Amino acid sequence: MSATRAKVLLVDPPSVSPNELNLGLASLAAALRAEGHAVRVVDLNSLRTGRAKGRLAEALDWGPDVLGVSVFPACDVTYAAARKILETVRSERGERTLRVVGGVGISIDPAEGARRMGPAADLCLYGEGERTLAEVVERRLAGGGMAGIAGTVRIEEGGVVREAPRPLIKNLDSLPFPAYELFDSVGERMAEYPMMTSRGCPFNCIFCLNKTLTQRTFRHRSPENVVAEIEYARDRFKFDALYIWDDHFSLVRERAERVCRMLIERKLNIRYYLPDGIRADSVTPEFARLLKESGCAGASIGFEDANPETFAHIQKGEKYEEIIQAIATLKAAGVPVRASMVIGLPHTTLTSTRVAMENLKKLKIHAEWYLAIPFPGTEFHDWVTKHGRFLEDPLTLRALTFRRVVFDTPEFPKADRYRAFYEAFAHYSFPEYAFYGKVCNPLTQQRSKVDKYILSIFTVARYIPERLPAHLWSLARDAVLAVLRRTGLART
């Protein structure tokens, strides 16, 4: 071990969302570097070319004092991948490297997460990791044990030992900007730059894990700090598009408007998206205008259920009419809108879901439809336990594609849920509903382009045959354009 500072190796295992950089690991890497530690990040998720074993072996030759592995999202595949990495490091490095694991897969149920990792992990972290991992590394440098570190859980002979939770970080401006340059998958340019300007959500949606992960708190960065990162990232990585992954970018509208005005005043001329949603009740004509003028090329609204009769059961804390009005306001300002929709929430049926489809069609916006997943620790999971039956473990890769029926109820059986999902997919996976220039639908995740085309043809033919000629023409046009781009005869 080095005399003063530590060598820390962070690893992002292959996950359900390839080609996405792990923002959490980037923040951890930056925080550790700020403390003077040497940090490397092996990104086995977004960079899947090359030999994964060779890249990990090369990193281990560096002689890390501490290994940190991320489990995100919480599913069987990522748990297994993380455990395999931990076991490899245990075999190669023994006690010379402290093996730590964290992420959402641990935080949603720390005791169960520790049991899943077993003896492969020396320590598991839950909650926000920047302060916790820094303390773990310092304790390792000092040669001390890991008992008493807030935000950790470990397995001892007597069972699982869970330490007290660590308080959430109040001043997010105190954190350094994410250190993507430490990823072995990142070069001089980044096509998409992911960032967050806030953490948490104070609302009470029955299906959301935020209540477990952030205790319904909301903390935000200052507009000045946000824009400073955007300027830094633009100059450092020359990104094509910025993705702001806040749960609620506009919860404090005055702050969001200030960010927009600063982007306009400084003439940054960037293109950015809000894919995880903005609060419908925060949208005003002035805010929509500022979004458009500052470079917002797409915003997502968490609608979930476009049937007013069943919408109330979601407990979103905003009114159905406010969502309808927000969509109209954003469209009027020229901001592309996507609605996130969920099939199978409490008290819904095939009939009620078809009403939601018809209502949404009238809005003429892109929608992404997902089959409901009752995650452990949510009110939704408790409701399903009482009123329905589980058909599959919700924490599996198949479930997290959001195209598997993992539970059903007497009034909305499995077959009806699949029918509703395929009907929704057939109606909404068309270019005219595209969001940020591409049609995204969970039905086609984890599939090759040829598989996607074939699946879409059969789905449209079965559920909306009158659209099949137009759909075939659209696919043929896209295929020709793809060939032309590859040969350099057409612009991307």
DSSP β-bridge partners for residue 301: 339
Q: Are 290 and 249 in contact (CB under 8 A)?
A: no
Whole-model pTM: value is 0.87
pLDDT tens readout for residues 50-107: 677 788 999 999 999 999 999 988 888 889 999 999 999 999 999 999 999 999 999 9
SS (H, E, C) the chain: CCCCCCEEEEEECCCCCCCCCCHHHHHHHHHHHHCCCEEEEEECCCCCCCCHHHHHHHHHHCCCCEEEEECCCCCHHHHHHHHHHHHHHHHHHHHHCEEEEECHHHHCCHHHHHHHHHHHCCEEECCCCHHHHHHHHHHHHCCCCCCCCCCEEEEECCEEEECCCCCCCCCHHHCCCCCHHHECCCCCCCCEEEECCEEECCCCCCCCCHHHHHCCCEEECCHHHHHHHHHHHHHHHCCCEEEECCCCCCCCHHHHHHHHHHHHHCCCCCCEEECCCCCHHHCCHHHHHHHHHHCEEEEEEEEECCCHHHHHHHCCCCCHHHHHHHHHHHHHHCCCEEEEEEECCCCCCHHHHHHHHHHHHHHCCEEEEEECCCCCCCHHHHHHHHHCEECCCCCCHHHHCCCCCCEEECCECHHHHHHHHHHHHHHHCCHHHCECCECCCHHHCCCCHHHHHHHHHHHHHHHCHHHHHHHHHHHHHHHHHHHHHHCCCCCC
Dist CA 125 CA 150 (whole Å): 9
Q: Are 322 and 281 in contact (CB under 8 A)?
A: yes
The CATH number of 189-446, from 3.50.50.60, 3.40.50.300, 2.40.30.10, 3.20.20.70, is 3.20.20.70
pLDDT block averages, 10 residues each, the chain of length 492: 76 80 96 97 80 86 97 87 95 96 93 93 96 97 94 92 96 98 93 95 88 87 98 96 94 97 96 90 96 96 94 92 96 93 96 95 88 92 96 84 89 93 70 38 46 72 79 80 70 47
pLDDT value at position 312? 92
DSSP β-bridge partners for residue 155: 160
pLDDT tens readout for residues 369-390: 889 999 988 999 999 999 999 9
101 alpha-carbon distance from chain centroid? 18
Dist CA 230 CA 269 (whole Å): 11
Domain ranges of the chain: 7-162, 189-446
pLDDT value at position 76? 86
Q: For residue 380, what are the contacts with CB-CB under 8 A and spacing of at least 6?
A: 206, 207, 345, 346, 372, 374
Which phi and psi (to 5°) does residue 434 adopt? -65, 145
State what percent of residues in the chain have pLDDT above 70.
Answer: 91
pLDDT value at position 436? 38
pLDDT value at position 490? 52
7-162: CATH topology is Rossmann fold (3.40.50)
DSSP β-bridge partners for residue 435: 438
pLDDT value at position 441? 40
pLDDT tens readout for residues 6-33: 999 999 998 766 668 999 999 999 999 9
pLDDT tens readout for residues 419-454: 898 888 776 644 333 333 343 443 344 445 566 677
pLDDT value at position 238? 95
Query: What is the crossing angle of helices 468-486 and 449-463, to 10°?
Result: 170
